[in-house]
């Protein structure tokens, strides 16, 4: 059932300037698997740095998001494909965007679903009361599913990003 749109979506998961967010990560892309540490650092308002390294400290990628700007500081040659970089850019922007304007909201028994738009794509945020799931939809079909679980002090201990149209799966498990 539609409900009056009373509030925007607030995503607290990577919003604390004083917190380094460190996750043990497993990224499966096409037929490759990369494991290591996924680190998100909020530098300033709407300014984040995201780095993925092996456990030995070798960088796999290093991205900067500053307002609408996106910069690849480094990316491993095996991952340096324009389509993959664009997908990661979109996925990670969903993770770090804190405030989104809600265009429609639906109330279910145990959760609220809020429709938003990011990068001209439709996203549905499922809140219960914190964000537990985000789904990107295109032409009525689910394209990407973000799952947040074991939420504690505005930190999702587990995050899974599943793509339905390409072979890409990202598993993150907090270690801080």
Tens digit of each residue's pLDDT (9 = 90 or more) over 96-147? 999 999 999 988 888 999 999 988 899 999 998 899 999 999 888 999 999 9
The CATH number assigned to the domain holding 51 equals 2.50.20.10
**Non-local CB neighbours of 25 within 8 Å, separated by 6+ positions:** 34, 35, 36, 37, 38, 52, 170, 171, 172, 173
Alpha-carbon distance of 15 to 131, in angstroms, equals 14
3-state secondary structure 137-155: EECCEEEEEEEEEEEECCE
Q: What is the pLDDT of residues 14-57, one digit of tens each?
A: 999 999 999 999 999 888 899 999 999 999 999 999 999 998 98
CA atoms within 13 A on the CB side of 172: 28
Range of the domain at 87: 2-174
Given a contact cutoff of 8 angstroms between Cβ atoms, the answer to whether 56 and 37 are in contact is no
DSSP letter (8 states) at residue 77: G
Taking residue 76's Cβ as centre, other Cβ atoms within 10 Å add up to 14
Domain count, the chain: 1
With cut-offs at 50, 70 and 90, classify the pLDDT of residue 69. very high
Q: Which of 51, 52, 45, 53 is nearest to 16 (CA)?
A: 45
DSSP letter (8 states) at residue 55: T
- Entry pTM: 0.92
């Amino acid at each position: 059932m539609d409900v009056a749109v009373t509030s925007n979506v607030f995503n607290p998961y990577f919003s604390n300037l004083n917190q380094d967010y460190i996750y043990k990560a497993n990224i499966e892309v096409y037929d490759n698997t990369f494991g290591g540490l996924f680190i998100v650092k909020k530098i300033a308002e709407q300014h984040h740095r995201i780095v993925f390294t092996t456990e030995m400290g070798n960088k796999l990628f290093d991205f900067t998001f500053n307002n609408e700007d996106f910069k690849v500081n480094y990316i491993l040659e095996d991952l340096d494909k324009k389509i993959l970089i664009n997908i990661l850019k979109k996925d990670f922007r969903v993770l770090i965007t804190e405030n989104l304007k809600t265009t429609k909201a639906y109330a279910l028994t145990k959760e609220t679903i809020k429709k938003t738009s990011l990068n001209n794509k439709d996203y549905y945020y499922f809140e219960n009361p914190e964000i537990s799931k985000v789904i990107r939809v295109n032409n009525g079909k689910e394209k990407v599913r973000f799952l947040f679980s074991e939420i504690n002090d505005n930190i999702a201990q587990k995050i899974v990003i599943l793509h339905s149209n390409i072979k890409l799966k990202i598993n993150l498990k907090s270690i801080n």
